[in-house]
Amino acid sequence: MRISNTVIVQKRIPIRKWLPILAMCMIYILLFLGSFGYWLLSKSLPSLNGEISIQGLQAPVKVWRDKQGVPHIEANNLHDLFMVQGYVTAQDRLFQMDLSRRQASGTLSEVIGSKTINQDRFFRTFGLHRAAIASYSKYPKEYQDYLKQYAKGVNAYIQDAIAKSKLPIEFTILGYQPKPWTPIDSLTIGKYMAYDLGGHWEGQAFRYYLLQRFPKEKALDLFPSYPEHGPDIIEKLQTLQLDLSKSFASAVVPHPFNGSNNWVISGEKSVSGKPMLANDPHLSLASPAIWYETHLTSPQVNVSGVIFAGVPGIIVGHTKHIAWGVTNVGPDVQDLYIEKRNPKNQNQFLYQGKWENAQIIHERIKVKDGKDIILPIQITRHGPIISEFAHSQKPDTALSLKWTALEPSTELQAILLFAQAKNWNEFKQALTYFHAPAQNFVFASTDGTIAYRANGKIPIRKKGDGLLPVPGWTDEYEWKGYIPWDQLPTWVNPEQGFIATANNRVMDHSYPFHLTHTWAEPYRQSRIIEVLQSKEKLTVEDIKKLQVDNKNLQAKEFNPLFVNLLNKQLSTLRPIEQQALAQLKSWNLQDDKELAAPLIYHMLMNKIEEFLFKKQIDPQMDKLFDGKFGIVSQLIQNAASGKEGPWIKEKGGLEKVVLESFKQAIDQITAKQGTNPSEWKWGEFHQITFAHPLSSVKPLDLLFTPPSSPLNGSHITVGAAGWKKTGEVNHGAAWRTVVDLAHPLQSWNVVSPGQSGQVLSPWYHNQIDDWVTGKQHLTSMEPKQYQADSDLLLFTPE
């Protein structure tokens, strides 16, 4: 038998014939992934119409969402009003709310992991959550009930979202579900805002570090003023040794430009004949916005404005009778005490010659994919020991923190009373419940009254003035009470017809009580006054324009000085440096995004700071340099007036400091924007991003964070826009509002980037362009106005 071999020949298909097939496969895959991704994102979008039943409601509640996504909540009683406010806010901002309470209470590591352990240690040590628990017990039962109803509303949404798999996509990405909301969560967020608006503990620590590291004259050169009882305190501090760079390397420090603008003008200065009020609080800029705009109405209240997501009520806003706004007073309400520890018992501290037992609290920090951490916290008579939160060493001395916000306080009661006030006396009475943070309140009413008040608990010290840590082993430096309520700075209907604050010094040196040493530089407030005085009568459009004003009054003072000093060295400047100098000479002092001069000026100021401090001040301590920008201005001003301090003198004098810093600034700009100064632009460097909390994880930034936009202004202009050294703008007025009391049921507003935290919502980033260009939308409290072309969502009792 013959067996034949069969040869099978495989015919090759040319690759060009496969390409269309592969391309189609890729298209189908991308379409599938895109559709799946869209489905994941869209399924969490909230219901904006129809009917939702909630257990515990007493009567139906209507929610109308206007064209900007602002909810107008109509309820028959306060019980239902706050319950639905909780539900509706959670619809738009649940992930932000959960992240906010976790940050404030020190529970981020439970869902993020080991990266946030030190941050959790820090806030557990500070004890914002403990302070919130203590505060809750101080509220009357009716206000506790309002907090409970708000929490019930949030939890009704959480339960519904979990049941229907509609939680925001961030929860899926991080792999967890939110826990039930509690009244303490709302109060903890409030305590965090008190922390974010500061009280200068970091400045005390920094100045202590200066005294330990540098000669006395050089250290004092960076003080905002000479400390009261200075020699006595300084001598005691220099005998003690604490490694603060180790203690506070991972401390969470509030943004240095946290503050605000507000002003109010009388009817005599307004075209409408009634008072007008403007406010733009300056805080971190991110996605979503820190503020949430809401209109609340019931038989008891009718109020519109903004609140922090996670808190009931309206903290800044207006009713049909009044309007109010806030800026940060920034008083010295925090003191660091140096505590002497018993070498034989680490939990005892010396006071008046005796060893006192500290209260010991053990906080459990849960860590995702890691072991739980037990954090022992020592609380002395002054407050928690904060100098050891990130390390376990127990030296013989430690720093404890005394702070007004760690005491029980009742700000929510004040907030809810604001909405019911009809005149200045009633509003002022509501302020008795507002303790921390201390705020500059401006007020206007339809009866023609305008007023101002610096309100909050501000301590009176037996000795010392808040500049330095003080001995905790003696009673010499204890607080002996607070500035009497009836002696807090207050003005009503001043002759000039307006009141303006921008975190500036609010009282002259004749005021009998100490407020703070660290005021904002006066340039923003001076510019506001300059504009308000420029016209006999002002319109709403004038006020809106002023809120984004870009004139740099600091440059008005410093730019001629810099130009003069650089002119003296003109022959040493390279051609590109001479061209850059020409830009400064012709500058109109506007921090305009299209101009080169503001870029050159701000980079020069930045390089002066680096030239003076970079190689001498520990980077870990630099972040505690409270009021640094004002101190740099002070050093320049002193040197220009012939009082050159050691920091500038050691660098060869002001002329050399400016020359060398200018050259470094031009080199840095050239590397980024080329060799033609006439083509340089402030806005190419200075850009707003509105980063999302998850944007640091690539490529999630492409999903959650919008494209950057060039931006006018700076941290020194009324149109505030603070930036990182990379140029990314991360601080400013996420909320701007203008109210004309001639039309008290409406206001002009912008919340950037938008109302919603849901990435596919039409209100996620829709207000960025308006915010950048200074436009505002009209929010009306008139039902005929906000109900027109709006969605209606009806809430009914279950």
Res. 161: pLDDT tops 60: yes
Sign of CA dihedral 781, 784, 789, 793: positive
Of 84, 20, 86, the closest CA to residue 58 belongs to 84
Mean pLDDT of all residues in 164-193: 96
CB neighbourhood size of 618 (10 A): 13
Q: Is 92 annotated as a binding residue?
A: no
Q: Which amino acid is at 213?
A: R
- Whether the link from the prior residue into 699 is cis, omega within 30° of 0, is yes
Indicate which residue of 44, 135, 260, 780 is catalytic: 260
Q: Which amino acid is at 705?
A: T
Q: What is the mean pLDDT of the chain?
A: 93
Is 616 or 394 the better-scoring residue by pLDDT?
616
Q: Is 667 annotated as a binding residue?
A: no
- Binned at pLDDT 50, 70 and 90, residue 243 comes out as confident
Q: Both tokens of residue 392?
A: 């376990």
Q: What is the pLDDT of residue 378?
A: 97
Res. 240: pLDDT tops 70: no
d(CA 98, CA 183): 13
Lowest mean pLDDT among 246-260, 448-462, 770-784: 246-260
Q: What is the pLDDT of residue 256?
A: 83
Q: What is the pLDDT of residue 227?
A: 75
- Binned at pLDDT 50, 70 and 90, residue 53 comes out as very high
Residue 339, C-beta contacts closer than 8 angstroms, at least 6 positions apart: 349, 350, 380, 382, 385, 397, 398, 399, 400, 472, 473
Q: How many CA atoms lie within 13 A of 331 on its CB side?
A: 27
Lowest mean pLDDT among 91-95, 258-262, 746-750: 258-262
Are 503 and 523 a contacting pair, CB within 8 Å?
no
d(CA 458, CA 488): 9
Res. 698: pLDDT tops 90: no
Mean pLDDT of all residues in 92-104: 98
Mean pLDDT of all residues in 742-763: 97
Q: Give the whole-number percent of the chain exceeding pLDDT 90.
A: 84
Mean pLDDT of all residues in 62-83: 97
Cα–chain center distance at 596:
29
Q: Which amino acid is at 610?
A: E
In the residue annotation, 260 being an active-site residue is answered as yes
Is 234 or 563 the better-scoring residue by pLDDT?
563
Mean pLDDT of all residues in 770-786: 97
Cα–chain center distance at 490:
25
Q: What is the pLDDT of residue 684?
A: 98
Res. 19: pLDDT tops 90: no
Q: What is the pLDDT of residue 483?
A: 97
Res. 696: pLDDT tops 50: yes
- Binned at pLDDT 50, 70 and 90, residue 9 comes out as very low
- Binned at pLDDT 50, 70 and 90, residue 6 comes out as very low
Is 779 or 3 the better-scoring residue by pLDDT?
779
Q: Which amino acid is at 723?
A: W
Q: What is the pLDDT of residue 258?
A: 85
Mean pLDDT of all residues in 759-777: 96
d(CA 381, CA 349): 9
**Top-confidence range, 206-210, 467-471, 505-509, 550-554:** 550-554
> Considering the entire predicted model, what is its pTM?
0.93
Separation in Å, CA 425 to CA 431, 501, 510, 722 = 10, 21, 26, 37
Q: What is the pLDDT of residue 42?
A: 76
Three-state SS for 357? strand
pLDDT tens, 250-278? Answer: 889 988 888 899 999 999 999 999 999 99
Q: What is the pLDDT of residue 4?
A: 43
- Binned at pLDDT 50, 70 and 90, residue 12 comes out as low
Are 715 and 722 a contacting pair, CB within 8 Å?
yes
Lowest mean pLDDT among 291-305, 349-363, 388-402, 409-423: 388-402
Mean pLDDT of all residues in 461-469: 91
Res. 372: pLDDT tops 90: yes
Q: What is the pLDDT of residue 11?
A: 52
d(CA 452, CA 470): 33
d(CA 601, CA 603): 6
- Binned at pLDDT 50, 70 and 90, residue 464 comes out as confident
d(CA 205, CA 49): 53
Res. 2: pLDDT tops 60: no
Cα–chain center distance at 285:
8
d(CA 33, CA 353): 71
Res. 8: pLDDT tops 80: no
Is 327 or 700 the better-scoring residue by pLDDT?
327
**Strand pairing partners for 747?**
779
Res. 28: pLDDT tops 50: yes
pLDDT tens, 516-531? Answer: 999 999 999 999 999 9
Q: What is the pLDDT of residue 395?
A: 81
| Residue bearing tokens 């923003």 | 524
Q: What is the pLDDT of residue 38?
A: 59
